[in-house]
Structure 1
Amino acid sequence: MATPTEEMKNSLNFRRFEDGETEWDSWDEKIFVEDTSHKCPTYVHKTPPCQGSCPSGHDIRGWLAIVRGQEKPVEGMDWKEYAFKRATDSNPFPSMMGRVCPAPCQGGCNRNDVEDFVGINSVEQFIGDTALAEGYKFTAGEDTGKKVAVIGGGPAGMAAAFQLRKLGHGVTVFERDPELGGMMRYGIPNYRISHEKLAAEIQRIVDMGVEVKTGISVGTDVAVADLEKEYGAILWALGCQSGRGLPVDGWEGTPNCVSGVAYLKAFNAGRMKATGKKVVCIGGGDTSIDVISVARRIGYNAAIGNPEDIVADESMVHDQVIADGAEQAEATLTSLFTKGKMFAAEHEINDALEEGCTILDGVMPLEVIIGDDGRATGLKVCDCTMDGMTPVPVEGTERVLEADLIVSAIGQGGDMKGVEDMANDRNLIDADKNYQVPGKLGHFVAGDIVRPHLLTTAIGQAAVAVESIDHYMKSEELGKRPKVDVHHFDLMQKLHEAGLDPEHFDSQAGDQRGANTANYAVHNYEDRSFAEVIPSNDLFLGHFEFTPRNLRTDDVPSGDAVLHHFKERMNGLSEEETVNEAKRCMSCGMCFECDNCVVFCPQDAVFRVKKNEATTGRYVDTDYSRCIGCHICHDVCPTGYIQMGLGE
């Protein structure tokens, strides 16, 4: 878990080794360690925990190595474009995800056991913004003549379109809304992400040759049977744009009780320019924070009448006069969980408080209070404690929060109108491990419609689904997915890129067993990345000095200045700061060319590979005629790349 921000500010020295860690963990290790002293080093590639924690399977270590200057680009390519190519192998939205992804990768980062995680998101944002500024493009694969229908133009659908075009398959995206983007476009406010940059990242995918049909609902405007006839496969990426109502008395049927999804969509579509005077939102995740922050920004104007009308009626649009005449609105969030356990990102909570929002944590809703006109006048709440995920009310703490608009942001569901036969009992779509729809040959699924989760989860599912679609359309059997299912570094591909391909192996050339000088083999290398994530205790943490994180700054308005403040809050890092942040990466499970093993080997057995034969993953080698199995190279390897494996 990532080190809390406040702890980092107050305690800058992190003790790397706990007191008492001077004994073997088990008697087996203490007694039998000497019988392994004959082993010699081999170089073992493993998956770093940042990548293992990333639902989209980013090769994070790879593009950080490029940014820091350790891994060199192909000849004739700038390092920024090379980093972009690597970063978008799994995720075509680096500019967006660098801003809004809650970054489980940073929670998994081994650097947390030194002082603080690597700011992966900030480096990704720099890569994405630079790519847009420089006009970097994607390249489609050679046309296969096969076509896939993608239902939904959100993050899962567009990520799938990207992966399909890389393979050369034709793609048609069917989108119900007027614009592509899904929840990235209609669910995230423009002060958190730039809608212009989002549109540019989407257009970059469309430019690969993706056909787009917006304003079309599959199942009503277009029959599923017709798509089955025209396309080789169908990918369902509908997303979840139907908000859950509040399960308390008085909610159902009350006009000024609306979902957070609908509220944000009205704002992000540009229709809603003012809201209620007193907005109460129930939630605790990022959506609920967005609701109250939007309410504070657009403010209240009595001229709009009932504030729910603009949310419910998609044909309504507030004019600029409404926005100009708005004044400060009150915005209150209630959460079952305390602030430290809320699902919203820590910095989003702090920003909302700075903007003048009220957050009542440890509070549960009890009842919607309804006035004589049938509209809600308030929300009855009480304090609560949590028994797991079940709130327990605290007696005697009941009170009523006045409200003229109540917003539920407690979850989302699918809208399966017209395709009800695809839905399960949760109004979502079932998926097997390969993201096929069980019992629906040729149908695949990805994203929130499988299970509402993170944007990065939807993007990762899309990549797996596309692999399955590719096999299906080629009539190939779907193989077993790897235990660590991510976009792995491929040494053979890197050797090819560097012009270092192994020679052709001729099986008729006679006895070639044990030929350690043969150039048809890649010697002294083992790839365990598909099976293992490397923990911090396999690294030499003592190599890494305390290095503070390069922090992005925020332009967060005060409560007095928040009205009509739509400037993007987050500022990116400079190029120098980005490179310095990338240098904090410990390159877990892959050599980062520190030379420790070469310097400390007492036998000069470990040596650098000749420059014209070296590349990432092939920087050092071992002369086993000199190696005495002393383990020193293993002990001083910061990244855990050297394992004492030879000699079993």
Structure 2
Amino acid sequence: MADPKGFMTTPRQEWPRRPVEERVRDWDEVYVPGALLPIISKQADRCMDCGVPFCHQACPLGNLIPEWNDLVAREDWRAASDRLHATNNFPEYTGRLCPAPCEAGCVLAINQPAVTIKNVECAIADRAWEEGFTPPRPPERLSGKTVAVIGSGPAGLAAAQQLTRAGHTVAVYERDDRIGGLMRYGIPAFKMEKRHLERRIEQMRAEGTRFRTSTVVGRDVSAADLRTRYDAVVIATGATAWRELSVPGRELRGIHQAMEYLPLANRVSEGDLEVSPLSAAGKHVVIVGGGDTGADCLGTTVREGAASVSQLDIYAQPGAERDEDVEPWPTYPKIYRLSAAHEEARDLRTAPAADADARLFAASTLRFDGDEAGHVRSLHLVEVDARRRPLPGTGRTLPADLVLLALGFSGPDQEDGIIEQLGLELEPRGTIARDAGFATNVPGVFAAGDAARGQSLIVWAIAEGRAVAAAVDRRLTGSTRLPAPISAYDRPMVV
């Protein structure tokens, strides 16, 4: 380690955010440009270079965190970039979007604020692009084998890049008009500007990966035909089958799924639309669901100029500190976190009646009421206990001109025909069944990412993409040098 006493002498300092009043007027990233590099070397110095670094175990990619922390502390950015990219294809994505289970597993976090691992990762990735440390890496020779990757989210892109670099000819099929999956149209630009996505796509093109956009496999092209045309097929379509809310009034107009709403807002940011057809401007908005997707909706509605915004979370408000009896270190704890969107809602007082920021905790939706025209106008809710049982006398009504359902996803969309056309077996929960080596019941067809794992984190998606690439390479060539950081059955650390 560069400074053996760094963890004792240097307090944790995170990448500062721009003032709320400034950042809600645009779609740029919420952080102060250029404010990370001046502080990050000292923050990397806080890493203790543990004998048993649990941050490795907490991160499914197996990122070599103590190594690149030490290199950043010494300001050897090229070497830090090499060590970071050895385990992660897209650190600029995870450095912005991952909730950092590695920090929950940091040994320093046993009794002090963890090392700012996520910020260090982001700084390395951004510096690597600025200094030209990430040139395209096309293969020296081609294998003559071909692979189709269906889906261009983080799992699909990671698999495609690994397989292309191994010498296979890879084509990525994407249903939307641009590459990126949920990173393109699900994640708002204020969390990750799309220029980061574009740079990797251009890098992959230069390496030889081919992209087929506006192509719905199962409709525009038969999944069975792809299996015939390619030596292997990787299904990485994500878990896009959203969960529903079956309560009276759900049929009213003005109630939409989060993934109906967010892509339109992102298209405004991309310049495709001048105004979103589902814009929250001037409306009373209620978001049902307390996760990250709900927070993305929250930040988006604030920027669109909603009259008010409330977010319902069915769970009780968590505490500010880890409960060691329930969620001991190094598991990822459920604690009260203030995202940029929640900070904005709190400071702008978008929901004055909320428990904290814009959130109402332990709140369950009972029904929706609408006007004579069939448009939603209010949402009725009730407080619930830990078993989600209604508490008498706690009902209340919120004005609602726009309701956004952010209740998560159950598995891959089956309406496109891929599963039926290939004859894929499913798990009871609706995800694609596979063995420990990511192979489905159909020879030559593999499944990776949320389509098989179920809704998960971006860091798990990239790990799945890298691991499935190793499995495909082994099938095509008989052996592989590609890393496989996880198996299909690995899961996050839990109690």
TM tier, smaller: 0.7 to 0.9
User: Shift of residue 423 of structure 1?
Assistant: 6.3
Does residue 292 of structure 1 match 2:298? yes
Aligned to 1:80: 77
1:259 counterpart = 2:257: yes
| Post-superposition CA distance 1:446-469 (Å, at most 9, x none) | 111121110111111111111111
- The DSSP-based 3-state class of the residue aligned with 1:415 is coil
For the 8 Å contact 2:316–2:386, the answer to whether it is kept is no
Q: TM-score, normalised by structure 2?
A: 0.76
Aligned to 1:368, the other structure's residue is in SS state strand
Q: Which runs of 4+ in 1 moved over 4 A?
A: 341-345
Pick the aligned partner of 1:99 from 96, 103, 111. 96
Distance 1:433 1:351 in 2: 43
Q: Give the C-alpha shift of residue 206 in structure 1.
A: 2.6
Paired residue secondary structure (2:451): coil
1:585-604 matches, within 5 Å, as none
Range that drifts further, 240-249 or 209-218: 240-249
Q: Counterparts in 2 of 1:458-497, with a 5 A limit?
A: 458-475=461-478, 485=486
**How far off its partner does 1:365 sit?**
0.8
CA deviations 1:495-539 (Å, max 9, x no partner) are xxxxxxxxxxxxxxxxxxxxxxxxxxxxxxxxxxxxxx9xxxxxx
Please give the residue correspondences for 1:299-448 in structure 2 after superposition, counting only pairs within 5 Å: 299=305, 328-340=306-318, 345-348=337-340, 349-357=342-350, 358-387=358-387, 391-413=388-410, 414-416=412-414, 417-421=416-420, 422=424, 424=426, 426-437=429-440, 439-448=441-450
- 1:363: how far off? 1.0
Alpha-carbon separation, structure 2, partners of 1:85 and 1:454: 24
Q: Does 1:237 align with 2:243?
A: no
Tell me, yes or no, if the aligned pair for 2:12 and 2:115 is still in contact at 8 Å.
no
1:281 corresponding residue in structure 2: 287
Alpha-carbon offset, residue 66 of structure 1: 2.3
Matched, 1:109 2:97: no
Matches within 5 A, 1:535-614: none
Three-state SS of the structure 1 residue aligned to 2:389 is strand
- SS of the equivalent of 1:472 reads helix
Amino acid aligned to 1:51? H
Kindly state the Cα deviation for residue 351 of structure 1 after the two structures are TM-superposed: 4.2
Is 1:455 matched up with 2:452?
A: no
What residue identity is the alignment partner of 2:160? A
TM superposition shift of 1:100: 1.6
* Residues 248, 366 of structure 1: 8 Å contact kept: yes
From the CA coordinates, give the structure whose radius of gyration is larger.
Answer: 1
The alignment of Structure 1 onto Structure 2 pairs a total of residues equal to 403
2:12–2:116 CA contact under 8 A, matched in 1: no
Q: Is the 8 A contact 2:151 2:237 kept in 1?
A: yes
Offset of residue 81 of structure 1:
2.6
- How far residue 8 of structure 1 moved from its aligned partner, in angstroms, is 8.5
Distance (Å, rounded) in 1 between the aligned partners of 2:206 and 2:212 = 14
Name the % identity.
31
Structure 2 counterpart of 1:128: 125
CA-CA distance at 1:112 after TM superposition: 1.1
Residue 344 to residue 152, structure 1, CA distance change in 2 (3 Å): farther
What are the equivalent positions in structure 2 for 1:56-75 lying under 5 Å apart?
56-69=61-74
Q: Which residue identity is paired with 1:346?
A: L
Contact persistence 1:336–1:386 (CA under 8 A) = no
SS in 2 for 1:331: strand
Q: Distance in 1 between matches of 2:113 and 2:189?
A: 29
Task: Name the CA shift for 1:107/1:351 in 2 (closer, same or farther; >3 Å).
Answer: farther
Q: Superposition pairs for residues 613-632 of structure 1, below 5 Å? A: none
**Shift of residue 164, structure 1, vs aligned partner:** 1.0
Deviation at 1:47, TM superposition (A): 5.8
Gap change, CA 1:8 and 1:60, over 3 Å in 2: closer
CA distance 1:66–1:141, change in 2 (3 Å): farther
Does the CA-based 8 Å contact 1:284-1:343 persist in structure 2? no
Contact 2:284 2:400 in 1 (8 A): yes
Alpha carbons of 1:8 and 1:83: their partners in 2 closer, same or farther (altered >3 Å)? closer
Are 2:290 and 2:314, in contact at CA under 8 Å, matched by a contact in 1? yes
The 3-state SS of whatever aligns with 1:177 is coil
- The two structures, once aligned, show a CA RMSD in angstroms of 2.8
Task: Find the aligned partners of 1:65 and 1:443 in 2 and give their Cα distance.
Answer: 41
Shift in Å, 1:46: 7.0
Q: 1:223 to 1:46 in 2, by over 3 A?
A: farther
**What amino acid is the match of 1:259?**
Q
**Amino acid aligned to 1:402:** P
Question: Which residue in the other structure is 1:640 paired with?
Answer: none
Q: Which amino acid aligns with 1:435?
A: F
User: Could you tell me the TM-score, scaled by structure 1's length?
Assistant: 0.58
Contact kept? 1:242, 1:262, Cα under 8 Å? no
Deviations 1:210-242 (A, max 9, x none): 000000011111112221222111000101234
Amino acid aligned to 1:458? A
One-letter identity of the residue aligned with 2:308: E
Deviations 1:35-85 (A, max 9, x none): xxxxxxxxxx97621111012222222322322239xxxxxxxx3232222
For 2:386, what is the secondary structure of its paired residue? strand
Is the contact between residue 138 and residue 206 of structure 2 (CA under 8 Å) also seen in structure 1?
Answer: no
Q: Note the C-alpha offset of 1:94.
A: 1.5
Q: Deviations over 1:100-139 (max 9, x none)?
A: 2100000000011352211111111111111222232131
**What SS does structure 2 have at the residue aligned with 1:346?**
coil
User: What CA deviation, in whole Å up to 9, does each residue of 1:398-442 have, x standing for no partner?
Assistant: 1221111111101124222122423625443122222111x1111
